[in-house]
Amino acid sequence: MRLHADFTERVVLHAPELDWVPSPMPGVHRRMLDRVGEEVARATSIVRYAPNSHFSAHVHGGGEEFLVLEGTFQDEHGDYPVGSYVRNPPTSEHTPRSEPGCVIFVKLWQFDPDDRHPVSLRLQDLSYASHADHSGVSCATLHEDAREMVEVQRWSAGTRASFDVPGGAEVLVLQGSLKADGDPLRVHSWMRLPAGTSWSGEAGADGATLWVKTGHLGG
């Protein structure tokens, strides 16, 4: 399968408008955002676990990065409520499940093969600092290495800002709304920008909270 597999193209999707696609496991469905491969794939998805559903035990050959959007995700390592951000590096393994049900934003097979650094954070525990170049934008870093940066950005109502993304970018709206180069984005809208481009946004009346990943599409 190849879905939005040309990473030189800008993509904007409103995930709530996409169909839920069944996975091989009962009760687990996916909204596919981009994908290169079949069941084992480089993939970006929103995944929904029905109450008391689970996925088979597996090893993360290419790593797994996820953010819990609703409910509580669980595995043998613990419970991950809304706002949990987790990076399971290559060679890690687990058996995912959810007793209450959950929705997660997840990226697979997109790590540096040599990365062995696990991350487990909660957005509500982060400290935010004002952006150096943009008034009205505050940021908290989730992960940073030589290849990429992952952060949460909070935009105050009406804030306008422009960003160059030499290594490409992804943006997922967590709260509020904004216009990105004229495209209206709302909760769980996802945008992917190719390397060497830029984008401009304007936050809506309630502001916007964004998950932002940069640098990873630069080759």
Neighbours of 114 (CB within 10 A): 8
Distance in angstroms (rounded) separating the CA atoms of residues 160 and 156: 9
Is the same domain home to 77 and 144?
no
Is the same domain home to 39 and 134?
no
Is the same domain home to 118 and 161?
no
Give me the CATH number covering residue 145.
2.60.120.10
Under a CB-based contact definition with an 8 Å cutoff, are residues 204 and 151 in contact?
Answer: no
**Structure tokens of 144?**
């940073």
Range of the domain at 197: 126-214
pLDDT at 71: 98
Q: pTM for the whole thing?
A: 0.97
Q: Strand 189-193 relative to strand 169-180: parallel, antiparallel, unpaired?
A: antiparallel
- Among 122, 139, 168, the domain boundary falls at 122
* SS3 (DSSP) at 70: strand
- C-alpha closest to that of 207 among 177, 182, 185: 177
DSSP code at position 15: G
- Among 82, 102, 122, the domain boundary falls at 122
Distance in angstroms (rounded) separating the CA atoms of residues 186 and 218: 26
pLDDT at 39: 85
DSSP assignment string, 16-60: GGSPPEE-SSTTEEEEEEEEEESSSEEEEEEEEEPTTEE---EE-
Instruction: Give me the number of domains the chain comprises.
Output: 2
- C-alpha closest to that of 115 among 85, 91, 151, 84: 91
Is the same domain home to 92 and 139?
no
- Among 64, 95, 122, the domain boundary falls at 122
Burial string for 81-92 (b: 16+ CB within 10 Å, else e) reads: ebbbbbbbbbeb
Q: Is residue 219 part of a domain?
A: no
Is the same domain home to 149 and 87?
no
Along the chain (219 residues), what's the average pLDDT of each consecutive run of 10 residues? 96 98 96 93 96 93 97 96 97 96 97 94 97 96 96 98 98 98 98 98 98 93
Is the same domain home to 191 and 209?
yes
Give the pLDDT confidence of 139-164 residue by residue, as tens digits.
Answer: 999 999 999 999 999 999 999 999 99
Give the pLDDT confidence of 11-24 residue by residue, as tens digits.
Answer: 999 999 999 999 99
- C-alpha closest to that of 109 among 40, 168, 32: 40
pLDDT at 129: 97
